[in-house]
Amino acid sequence: SAVISQKPSRDICQRGTSLTIQCQVDSQVTMMFWYRQQPGQSLTLIATANQGSEATYESGFVIDKFPISRPNLTFSTLTVSNLSPEDSSIYLCSGEIYADTQYFGPGTRLTVL
Amino acid sequence: KQEVTQIPAALSVPEGENLVLNCSFTDSAIYNLQWFRQDPGKGLTSLLLIQSSQREQTSGRLNASLDKSSGRSTLYIAASQPGDSATYLCAVRRDTDKLIFGTGTRLQVFP
C-alpha cells in the first residue's frame, strides 16, 4: 500500500492569486493523478502527473490554469492559478502502481474569496 | 463514453442492518473496479479492488461482487454500524486507463 500526504490541508485565498499544493507518497508509484471535487459532487480528474515531463490534461483543464510538476516518483505539485470563487473545491492527489489499487491523499480544501 | 451510476444516492438505516449499495456502468469492457469510502471533508479510502476476471472480493464485513456482462457491481455491508456512515464511491477502469468515478451513495447509520 501507499500513504499519501498533502500540504496544505486547507487554505483561504484571494481572487487572482495562486495556490500550490504538494503531494508526497511514501513509496514509489508508477502513476500520480490530481482530482478536483466540487461541493456535493464526485471526483473529476484534472490530469495525470508524468515524471520528468509535461502532465497529461483531461478535457476542460489546461496547463496555464493548473500547472503540474512531478520531479521524481514520489512527489508532485499542483498549482491553481489566477483563482476565482469557482475554483473553491477539494483537490486530491492519488498514486497507484501499474493500474492496481489507487490510493488517495487527504485532500486540500480551497476557498477563494 | 463510460458512465458510472450509483443507486441509491442516499441511504439512512438503523444500526445492525445488512446493506446493499449498487454501482452500474455502461461499458462492460473494464479492467478493474474499485470501491472507496469518503468521510466528510476527507480523502478517499480504498475498500476493495475487483479485477475483471474476479466475481467478488471480501474484507471483513464488506463484500463486493462484479457482474461485467450486466455492467453491475454491488457492495454488501453486513451488520452496519454508525462508524460506517460515509459516502461510498465506485470507480471503474478501462484497460490501464484512468478511473471513472460514480456519483456516490451517502450512507447514514443511526444508533
Model confidence pLDDT, tens digit, residues B52-68: 999 999 999 999 999 99
Q: Are A42 and B93 within 8 A, CB to CB?
A: no
Q: How big is chain A, counted in residues? A: 113
User: How many percent of chain A have pLDDT more than 90?
Assistant: 80
Q: Is B28 left (phi over 0), alpha (psi -120 to 50) or beta?
A: alpha
Mutation site for A-interface testing, chosen from B99, B103, B106 by largest number of A Cβ within 10 Å: B99
Report pLDDT for B40.
Answer: 86
Contacts of B86 in chain A (CB under 8 A): none
Report pLDDT for B96.
Answer: 67
Report pLDDT for A97.
Answer: 82
Contacts of A57 in chain B (CB under 8 A): none
Q: Are A92 and A33 in contact (CB under 8 A)?
A: no
Scan residues 48-107 of A and list those with Cβ closer than 8 Å to B.
Answer: 48, 58, 90, 92, 94, 98-107
User: Which residues in chain B land under pLDDT 70?
Assistant: 96
Q: Which residues of B32-60 are buried (b: 16+ CB within 10 A; e: fewer)?
A: bbbbbbbeeebbbebbbbbebeeeebeee
| pLDDT above 90 for A14 | yes
Average predicted confidence (pLDDT) for chain A: 93
